[in-house]
Structure 1
Amino acid sequence: MTKDAISAAVPLRRSADDRSAEALTVSRVRPAYQQVADQLLARILDGSLAAGDRLPSETELSSIFGVSRSTVREALRALASRDLVETARGTTGGTFVRRVEQGQVSDYLETSLGLMSGSDDITVTQMLEAREVLEVPAARLAAERRHEQHLEAMREAVDREKLTRGRGLRFQEHRNFHGIILQSSANPLLEIMTEPLFRVLQTKFLNPDVDPRVWRSVDHDHETILEAITDQDADAAASAMHDHLTRLRETYLDDGTADANS
């Protein structure tokens, strides 16, 4: 075979190898402890292991998975670092599936959103859009499901925000009003998902130079929303909340990502 023929043959062999590599689909092998942790996590997520359930002992898990006890311990540490399991000592101790609290999930979301916000990952505009997606239907549900104690709490929040002086305190009262609406919706998931957005927007993006007239407009909007919820007019409550959140956009710092429709 001539030199030119060899040179011509090499690319052909490489192309064939490339095609073979592309055809062979494999999953990257994960460390043994991670595979054990993943399988235990799958059992937690599918309900096979419920909150409060006690896991088998390290020795039993070692036998079940065919790995060493040190591998099992590392897997349990990985799950514990995510607050999925906890270990108790004593005769009645062991490793148990943790019961996740609402505030715990909300705090985790706030931390994650805070780290991602203000970058290419999540923009202020996207957070405001997400807030509208969550709070407009929440206002609708609140009009349908509210109780008298919710209405009284909203009235008190509106009265307090009118008397509040200072940016931080005023926003706190504003947030309280919205929080009560979320509670009135009787859907805890809406509260879990929206509360972190409140906190990140307040902490990182609240505009310090908002015209005081804007806050007076906020007070008026809240009164309109409260009236619709009091009257159990779901359509009016949703519409008023949508208009309110649209106007609220100017109270947050522009990250330069808003489009022409924002």
Structure 2
Amino acid sequence: MSTAVARILGDVPADRRGQIVPRRVAVGAGEQGRRPAEPLPVSRLRPAYQQVADQLRELILGGSLSPGDRLPNEADLCASFGVSRSTIREAIRVLSSRGLVYTLRGTTGGTFVNRIRGEDVSDYLEASIGMMSGAQDITLENIIEARLILEIPAARLAAERRTEEDLEGMSAGLLMEAGEPDWLRKTVGQRSFHSSLVAASGNEVLQVLADPLLAVLASILKPPALEPETVQAVHADHVEITEAVRRQDPDAAEDAARRHLERLAELYRSA
């Protein structure tokens, strides 16, 4: 076990490790002249493997364990947490299922802290939001509102921060949108435009959050849902936003994005 990781795990209080095993406590016992209190039942805690996984997760998210760091081997983890090998293995499986760690085999193998990419988070959110929407756990209005909150300010930031490369990305989306007669390919151009617009904001978190919403909403509009005139109006909106971003006019970009997204919101509601 590396010195740094050993120190980190060594900092886990002994009594906290002991919480892995459910206990019963007695209140008032031992006081002279009083009847010993009956032990009070304590609700069974979460499974031991979940508690180990949670503590390791805290170390990872808190930065004590960094991407690429190797976790201690099973024996060291067992000693640190006071649990069995099967418990440690199950805890590692939990962390792996959440994309926090990965395991390599061989002499140089082990379990390592993963490096999460923005695309991975977006893919997970897209699938999760899509499933929640399909199960009606979230409404169309929830998704529309979230997109307005994210993308309108992103358009303003794009006008302030855009680079020539950003403009090229937006223009490529416009060309694909305008030049494709096929509806599905046209929607790819539309999504590419919006993704490039948010990317031009220079804020990767906005892009991670906005792209999944765009993908879920794009699945709502099927070919019969939009008339040719509407498709042309949407394209004209995109051109207007692009020109405002090109001129580096934040007010115009924000206003054009708001009007465009409100137009789309009505289309989603009527689809």
Range of TM-score over shorter length: 0.7 to 0.9
Among all aligned residue pairs of Structure 1 and Structure 2, give the percentage whose two residues are the same amino acid. 52
| Map 1:222-241 → 2, pairs under 5 A | 222-241=238-257
Counterpart Cα distance in 1 of 2:44 and 2:257: 48
Query: Aligned residue for 2:6?
Result: none
| Map 1:44-193 → 2, pairs under 5 A | 44-193=60-209
Q: How big is the alpha-carbon RMSD for the aligned residues of Structure 1 and Structure 2?
A: 1.9
Higher RCO (C-alpha under 8 Å, 6+ residues apart)? 1
5+ long unaligned stretches in structure 2: 1-39
**Are 2:175 and 2:189, in contact at CA under 8 Å, matched by a contact in 1?**
no
With normalisation by structure 1, the TM-score equals 0.83
> How many residue pairs get matched?
231
Counterpart Cα distance in 1 of 2:70 and 2:147: 38
Counterpart Cα distance in 1 of 2:43 and 2:144: 38
User: CA 1:191/1:100 → structure 2, altered by over 3 Å: closer, same or farther?
Assistant: same
**Could you tell me how far 1:106 is from its partner in structure 2?**
0.7
Query: Aligned residue for 2:221?
Result: 206
Other structure's SS at 2:225 match: coil
**Could you tell me how far 1:210 is from its partner in structure 2?**
1.6
Query: Aligned residue for 1:34?
Result: 50
5+ long unaligned stretches in structure 1: 1-23, 256-262
Query: Aligned residue for 2:33?
Result: none
Paired residue type of 1:40: L
User: CA 1:81/1:153 → structure 2, altered by over 3 Å: closer, same or farther?
Assistant: closer
**Are 1:107 and 1:196, in contact at CA under 8 Å, matched by a contact in 2?**
yes
| 1:177-201: CA deviation from partner (whole Å, max 9, x where unpaired) | 1111111111111111111112112
Paired residue type of 1:166: D
With normalisation by structure 2, the TM-score equals 0.80
**2:259 is equivalent to residue 243 of structure 1:** yes
| 1:65-114: CA deviation from partner (whole Å, max 9, x where unpaired) | 00111111111111111111111122221111111111111111011101
**Are 1:143 and 1:233, in contact at CA under 8 Å, matched by a contact in 2?**
yes
**Are 1:147 and 1:184, in contact at CA under 8 Å, matched by a contact in 2?**
yes
